[in-house]
């Protein structure tokens, strides 16, 4: 059975051998659930290492109980990509296919606040996420044709600085489990982790994060580190806050098993009218 699975799995289901939106390192928040429903629209440009990808993203978070429980959905609506002949050959794409369009996977998530920040206690939020297999263009290695899921805990604590320009520093840790199906009934299980600092005031803040996950196939003597399922990314994001909206710009770089640079621009809009009231 092991021999059959190894020989049959010629496609490496990992971030190192697919497009940037196939199975990225999951993002994590500031550890809090919002009071009102929030719509986020953003656009990415990925470049470097022989793959140029432009895409549009949409995300909706609806607090079922404000600041306690929320429901989240998001997806990459559309991406346009172009790869070099070398990347085409390395990924095992159809010969002569160097560019095209693809639609992304749906993600569905529930978030539950387990503990609220009080005195020395931190905020703790449990995230449960399901990834569908709705992404297109598997032969071109844009998206997996398999589902996945994850569970994680966000643990966050804020410290007041007493200054106006940078009135608060917040520390966030994310730890969990991330799993996705690769071939037939075989799945890749990984540990999920991340650290983030957020510094600023009620008008702006700057986020810096280091995050990733480590799959078992990366450490397997059968598949080895070339399988590419241990991505690590660093991201810096600037947020500007207005009355009911925020604007952000982000730069992200892959440090391991994620061969992309990312530039992201977006806006988040708080919508009280879409928030359930009981």
How many helices (H) does the chain have, and how many strands (E)?
A: 3, 13
Interval 8-25: pLDDT, tens? 457 899 999 999 999 999
Q: Rounded mean pLDDT of the chain?
A: 93
Residues 6+ apart with CB under 8 A from 228: 12, 14, 15, 16, 17, 218, 257
* pLDDT (tens digit per residue) in 55-79: 999 999 999 999 999 999 999 999 9
- Taking the CA atoms of residue 35, residue 127, residue 247 and residue 243 in that order, the dihedral angle to the nearest 10 degrees is 10
Q: Dihedral of CA 226/26/72/69: which sign?
A: positive
Name 33's Cβ contacts closer than 8 Å, sequence gap at least 6.
Answer: 63, 66, 67, 68, 69, 70, 111, 113, 125
Which has more confidence, 277 or 62?
Answer: 62
Residue 4 clears pLDDT 90, i.e. is over it: no
* Residue at token pair 């560019």: 99
Q: State pLDDT tens for residues 142-190.
A: 999 999 999 999 999 999 999 999 999 999 999 999 999 998 778 999 9
Domains of the chain: 2-274 (2.40.160.40)
Return d(Cα 92, Cα 105) in angstroms, integer. 21
Q: What is the pLDDT of residues 185-214, one digit of tens each?
A: 789 999 999 999 999 999 999 999 999 999
This prediction's pTM: 0.92
* Percent of the chain topping pLDDT 70: 96
> What pLDDT score was predicted for residue 173?
98
Count of C-beta atoms within a 10 Å radius of residue 133? 15
Least confident of 124-138, 175-189, 200-214, 234-248: 175-189
């Amino acid at each position: 059975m092991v021999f059959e699975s190894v020989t049959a799995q010629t496609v490496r289901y990992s971030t190192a051998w697919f497009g940037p939106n196939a199975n990225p390192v999951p993002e994590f928040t500031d550890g809090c659930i919002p009071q009102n429903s929030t719509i986020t629209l953003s656009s990415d440009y990925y470049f470097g290492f022989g793959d140029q990808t432009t895409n549009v993203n949409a995300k909706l978070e609806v607090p079922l109980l404000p600041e306690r429980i929320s429901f989240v959905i998001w997806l990459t609506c559309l991406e346009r990509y172009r790869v070099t002949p070398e990347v085409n050959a390395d990924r095992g794409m159809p010969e002569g296919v160097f560019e095209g369009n693809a639609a992304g996977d749906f993600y569905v998530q529930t978030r539950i606040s387990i503990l609220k920040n009080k005195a020395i206690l931190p905020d703790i939020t449990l995230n449960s996420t399901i990834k569908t297999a709705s992404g297109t263009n598997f032969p071109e290695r844009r998206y997996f044709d398999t589902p996945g899921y994850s569970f994680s805990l966000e643990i966050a604590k804020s410290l007041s600085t007493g200054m106006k320009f940078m009135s608060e520093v917040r520390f966030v840790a994310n730890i969990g489990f991330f799993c996705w199906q690769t071939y037939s009934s075989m799945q890749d299980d990984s540990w999920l982790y991340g650290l983030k600092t957020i510094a600023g005031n009620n008008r702006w803040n700057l986020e810096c994060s280091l995050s990733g996950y480590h799959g078992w196939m990366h450490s397997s003597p059968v598949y080895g580190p070339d399988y590419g399922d241990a991505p690590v990314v660093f991201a810096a994001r600037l947020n500007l806050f207005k009355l009911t909206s925020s604007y952000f710009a982000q730069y992200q770089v892959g440090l391991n098993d994620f061969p992309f640079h990312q530039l992201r621009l977006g806006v988040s809009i708080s919508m009280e009218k879409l928030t359930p009231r009981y």
